[in-house]
Amino acid sequence: MKRVYDFREGQASMNQLLGGKGANLAEMTNLGLPVPTGFTITTSACMEYLEKAQGLTTALMQEINAAICRLEERTGKGFGDSKNLLLVSVRSGARVSMPGMMDTILNLGLNDQTVESFAEKTSLAFAYDCYRRLLQMFADVVYGISPQYFASEIEELEMTYHKDLLDFNQKEFAELITRFKKIYTDNGQIFPQEPVDQLTEAVQSVFKSWNNHRAQVYRRLHKIPNDWGTAVNVQEMVFGNSGANSGTGVAFTRNPATGEAKVYGEFLSNAQGEDIVAGIRTPEKISELADSMPKVYQEFTEVCKRLEAHYLDMQDIEFTVENGKLYLLQTRTGKRTAKATVKIVVDLVREGVISKEEGLMRVKPELLNQLLHPVFSPKALKVVDILAKGLPASPGAATGKVVFTATRAKELTELGEKVILVRQETSPEDIEGMVLSQAIVTSRGGLTSHAAVVARGLGTCCVVGCGDLQVDEQKGEFHVHGKTYTEGQAISVNGNTGELYLGIIETELMEVDETFYTLMTWADEVSQLGVCANAETVKDLTTALQFGAKGVGLARTEHMFFASERLLEMRRMILAETPEEKQQALATLLSYQQQDFYDMFAITKEKSLIVRLLDPPMHEFLPQTEKDIIEVADSLAKPVTKVKEMIATLHETNPMLGHRGCRLGITEPGIYQMQAEAIIRSCIALTKAGISVKPKIMIPLIGGVAELVATKTIIVERINELFAELNSEIPYEIGTMIEIPRACLIADKLAEHVDFFSFGTNDLTQLTYGYSRDDVAKFMPEYIEKHILPHDPFQTVDEEGVGELMRIAVEKGRQTNPSLSIGVCGEVGGDPDSIQVFQKIKVDYVSCSPYRIPLARLSVAQAAI
Ligand code: ADP
Ligand code: MG
Ligand code: MG
């Protein structure tokens, strides 16, 4: 087994073995880009080490030593050679990037002796700056000694000598190093002076860091397998901290927040890599390099273009400038917001870099949900004052209670609170708290700080560098303009503008831009399944059409009976004691329903609208509490005892399997007749007004042919009477829900009597498994944890069982009725994985809630590609 690869030997496709960072360093090396030379120790070497847990093997040590020899040869420098010193960085790099999860050591190779000769060749301040950084990082990474101890010593000495660290003289630096080494001994450790010992210790620590707590949390969160391991990159140092003509930068080839096609990032002069990410000093914008280092800037923008053209995607690049010379230290596909994802994909297709299909496949459907994240209502914003303003690092509008630590975020969230994590800056230890927070706010750091990068990855609203805030995490308070606020303070965070406000501000839906619509149009071009909405209110119908629904696959009429005055009429009808009383209640309901349907069809017009007749059990409409019962009796002018008696009669042991759907339609024909009449009357009125509509009436819960025929007859007879009475006719269709397993098996016979089928996957799943939908929560989590089910079948369709029943129904239905239209309504209609199954089964369309429409449109496109 080969355990060590020079950068020259690798390539991007070897990322499993070399880790993402190593593979791309190799790729860039082979592209001829300026990458400091180095080598990569493989992820398999890491796993080998972790399994044995007995130090580095001789085989590995031999390969490392040989690689160092080659490195020395190529650089003309020597490891530990005081005349021409080779310093390296030791960098972890797993297969996928895990921002800040693993550790990096810079300037490795320095010791008490070589720092002096190094100082003679360079400068005192520079050499000791490198050495003290090495001591700090090494302590942190290898021995877990807190960086805080070292920071305090620096602060103390700066105070004692009244000068900045970089102005220290030889004696003062010596004092600092002595103090640093004391921190080591206080912690029972010694800093190894021998460069090779430093390297082996560092490599082992990076290996071990694969199993540290925060790495494990991150892996669990992102479903990354534990046996991947991390590679270790050993690379010649270049020095961004060697003066004003040097520095370190992080940049994206396009704006990761908006997607704008312009290089975007930050640069910190006279600094080493860690400085910029830690957000210790506020960096300058990359565009400012155009003035301060025009040649470097030009070269860098060219590199960006080249890397994009090579990788066919937006890149996230780390680089360093040493005395005016550019070096690339990392490239990877950049994380981005949902908004930027769509813009970048659409731009790349337009630029001819990728195909439309490739573009469509690159956008995860769930991402569109993020894009449709709410924003603060502009009206509500007008009347509040801005509390503070920082940099908008990740978009969104979030509200919640302030917490200052990840632990408190966890505790309060468990109590059901929405929290906002407010800190000076975040670090990898905070990851658990960050995941749970509605928003993340930091007082320091830039757009590439830890908080910003992680938040964008999570799709969490984030504001960084909010300098107006003084955060005291220990005391659990923050100060703004002289006022103090403590934990639990409600605030609102605007990730689009960087503004913070006191209190909870109302939100509304975000405006989407042109690129979103373009992507949706491309999706429709390739899809084979249509996307309809489940909607019945004017608001939902309008939203659904705005989001591009082809029609309405399911309008649930029962939702219209729950408004107060209607509920009373419904109750009057159910509790009627004479036919006249019942007739009267139905007549009132008819007038309500007629208006409802008129409004609905007036919105959908020539688009398809399927109205499902009343579905739930009667008792759902009955009063439950004593108070309610008395009120109902009162308004219906009936004795309380009578009402109670009726309720008792209507009681069902298992209502979801009881007197509902078409069963009710048959035993109480007046209800379905009333609904059919309301539909037909409103549609005739609309047609006369010049809007021709073709209503589709759907019967729920059919399990047999005779049942279907009986229900249909009830409806059709009423419709025919109406046509005669009104002396006008309109076209209409009648269809049935397919939601009882038996219906699937006799679908050929049912299809002879209807124009369309619509799978009710909720009931079909419930009845196929025999799982009560309302009670699954009791066992489902354990079933999934124990792998008894691969996933919750109410969220993603069960392909093997429910899917098979659906397949049978589609096949049989089309056998006897080739023009049968077939759809899917129910939760899973908008689920990307389920849509893959429906594409195979070859239904005609899926129907889902309005906000899921864009996601479903993209999913059906992906299923077709
Ligand atoms: P992370 O994965 O946390 O980004 P890296 O291994 O990329 O860690 O290192 C962080 C930073 O350290 C880099 O962005 C770069 O600025 C600096 N760095 C790493 N290796 C070198 C090197 N050989 N020369 C100069 N700077 C380096
Ligand atoms: Mg990096
Ligand atoms: Mg149903």
CATH number at residue 494: 3.50.30.10
Residue 457's pLDDT is what?
A: 67
**Domain extent at residue 429:** 373-509
Using the predicted structure, report yes or no on whether residue 143 has a pLDDT greater than 60: yes
Nearest residue (by CA) to ligand 1, atom 8, is 104
Instruction: Please report, for the domain that includes residue 126, its CATH number.
Output: 3.30.1490.20
Position 783 confidence tier, pLDDT thresholds 50, 70, 90: very high
Helix/strand/coil for 823: strand
CA of 743 to the centre of ligand 1 (A): 63
Give per-residue pLDDT as tens, 442-491.
998 877 788 887 887 677 899 998 989 999 999 999 999 999 999 999 99
Same domain for 565 and 504 = no
Is 91 near ligand 1, meaning CB less than 6 Å away?
yes
Instruction: Please report, for the domain that includes residue 251, its CATH number.
Output: 3.30.470.20
Give per-residue pLDDT as tens, 342-386.
999 999 999 999 999 999 999 999 888 777 767 788 788 888 989
Position 220 confidence tier, pLDDT thresholds 50, 70, 90: confident
Encode 26-70 in three state secondary structure.
HHHHHCCCCCCCEEEECHHHHHHHHHHCCCCCHHHHHHHHHHHHH
Residue 511's pLDDT is what?
A: 64
Domain count, the chain: 4
φ, ψ of residue 500 in degrees (nearest 5): -115, 145
Position 755 confidence tier, pLDDT thresholds 50, 70, 90: very high
CA of 462 to the centre of ligand 2 (A): 21
CA nearest 795: which of 812, 821, 820, 771?
A: 771
Residue 784's pLDDT is what?
A: 87
Find the mean pLDDT for residues 756-782: 91
The answer as to whether 637 is a domain residue is: no
CA of 489 to the centre of ligand 1 (A): 38
The answer as to whether 291 is a domain residue is: yes
CA of 316 to the centre of ligand 2 (A): 9
In this structure, which ligand is nearest to the CA of 248? Answer: 1
Same domain for 557 and 501 = no
Using the predicted structure, report yes or no on whether residue 813 has a pLDDT greater than 90: yes
Same domain for 378 and 278 = no
Of 320, 327, 328, the one to substitute when testing ligand 1's pocket (max ligand atoms within 8 A of C-beta) is 320
Find the mean pLDDT for residues 665-693: 96
CB 437 within 8 A of CB 454: no
Is 821 near ligand 1, meaning CB less than 6 Å away?
no
CB neighbours of 120 closer than 8 A, spacing ≥ 6? none
Find the mean pLDDT for residues 288-305: 96
Residue 509's pLDDT is what?
A: 67
The answer as to whether 410 is a domain residue is: yes
Find the mean pLDDT for residues 819-846: 95
Give the mean pLDDT of the chain: 93
The answer as to whether 341 is a domain residue is: no
Active-site residues: which are they?
Answer: 450, 825
The answer as to whether 521 is a domain residue is: no
Same domain for 532 and 490 = no
Residue 809's pLDDT is what?
A: 98
Is 104 near ligand 1, meaning CB less than 6 Å away?
yes
Q: Report the percent of the chain where pLDDT is more than 90.
A: 77
Give per-residue pLDDT as tens, 590-615.
999 999 999 999 999 999 999 999 99
Token pair of 820 as six digits: 């049968």
Count of Cβ atoms closer than 10 Å to residue 475 Cβ: 11
Q: Which residue has the higher pLDDT, 7 or 221?
A: 7
Same domain for 153 and 300 = no
Encode 312-365 in three state secondary structure.
CCCEEEEEEEECCEEEEEEEEECCCCHHHHHHHHHHHHHCCCCCHHHHHHHCCH
In this structure, which ligand is nearest to the CA of 274? Answer: 1
**Can you tell me which atom of ligand 1 is nearest the CA of 233?**
6
- State whether the Cα torsion 387-392-396-399 is positive or negative: negative
Q: Which residue among 236, 260, 294 closes a domain? A: 236
Q: Are strands 247-252 and 315-322 parallel, antiparallel or unpaired?
A: antiparallel
CB 759 within 8 A of CB 824: yes
Is 331 near ligand 1, meaning CB less than 6 Å away?
no
Position 100 confidence tier, pLDDT thresholds 50, 70, 90: low
CA nearest 126: which of 35, 293, 240, 234?
A: 240
The answer as to whether 400 is a domain residue is: yes
- State whether the Cα torsion 35-36-37-38 is positive or negative: negative
CA nearest 8: which of 86, 71, 65, 66?
A: 71
Residue 98's pLDDT is what?
A: 77
CB 78 within 8 A of CB 84: yes
- Residue-by-residue DSSP string for 618-630: GGGGS--SHHHHH
Which range, of 222-231, 386-395, 448-457, 616-625, averages the lowest pLDDT? 448-457
Residue 279's pLDDT is what?
A: 64
Q: Which residue among 480, 509, 538 closes a domain? A: 509
Helix/strand/coil for 553: strand
Same domain for 223 and 89 = yes
Amino acid at 491: I
Same domain for 147 and 65 = yes
**Can you tell me which atom of ligand 1 is nearest the CA of 273?**
16
Q: Strand ranges (DSSP E) for 273-314?
A: 284-285
Give me the count of residues in the chain: 865
Find the mean pLDDT for residues 195-215: 92
CA of 272 to the centre of ligand 1 (A): 8
In this structure, which ligand is nearest to the CA of 209? Answer: 1
In this structure, which ligand is nearest to the CA of 265? Answer: 1
Of 91, 141, 235, the one to substitute when testing ligand 1's pocket (max ligand atoms within 8 A of C-beta) is 91
- What is the C-alpha to C-alpha distance for residues 593 and 675, in angstroms, rounded to an integer? 7
Residue 452's pLDDT is what?
A: 86
Position 250 confidence tier, pLDDT thresholds 50, 70, 90: very high
CB 634 within 8 A of CB 583: no
Give per-residue pLDDT as tens, 61-80.
999 999 999 999 999 999 98
Rounded to a whole number, what is the distance in angstroms from the first to the last CA of the chain? 40
CB 229 within 8 A of CB 210: yes
Same domain for 415 and 311 = no
Give per-residue pLDDT as tens, 22-45.
999 999 999 999 999 999 999 999
Position 562 confidence tier, pLDDT thresholds 50, 70, 90: confident
Same domain for 537 and 480 = no
CB 418 within 8 A of CB 394: no
Same domain for 537 and 462 = no
Using the predicted structure, report yes or no on whether residue 16 has a pLDDT greater than 90: yes
Is 318 near ligand 1, meaning CB less than 6 Å away?
yes
Q: Which residue among 284, 309, 333 closes a domain? A: 333
Is 237 near ligand 1, meaning CB less than 6 Å away?
yes
Instruction: Please report, for the domain that includes residue 531, its CATH number.
Output: 3.20.20.60
Is ipTM beyond 0.90?
Answer: yes
Residue 827's pLDDT is what?
A: 74
Is 235 near ligand 1, meaning CB less than 6 Å away?
yes
Token pair of 336 as six digits: 């981005």
Using the predicted structure, report yes or no on whether residue 633 has a pLDDT greater than 80: yes
Residue 276's pLDDT is what?
A: 79
CA of 247 to the centre of ligand 1 (A): 12
Is 19 near ligand 1, meaning CB less than 6 Å away?
no
Q: Report the percent of the chain where pLDDT is more than 70.
A: 98
Strand-pairing partners, residue 442, are: 423
Using the predicted structure, report yes or no on whether residue 126 has a pLDDT greater than 80: yes
Same domain for 255 and 231 = no
Residues around ion ligand 3, judged by CB within 5 A, are 739, 760, 763
Nearest residue (by CA) to ligand 1, atom 1, is 100
Strand-pairing partners, residue 612, are: 556, 698
The answer as to whether 644 is a domain residue is: no
Find the mean pLDDT for residues 723-734: 97
The answer as to whether 379 is a domain residue is: yes
**How many Å separate Cα 745 from the centre of its chain?**
39
Same domain for 253 and 232 = no
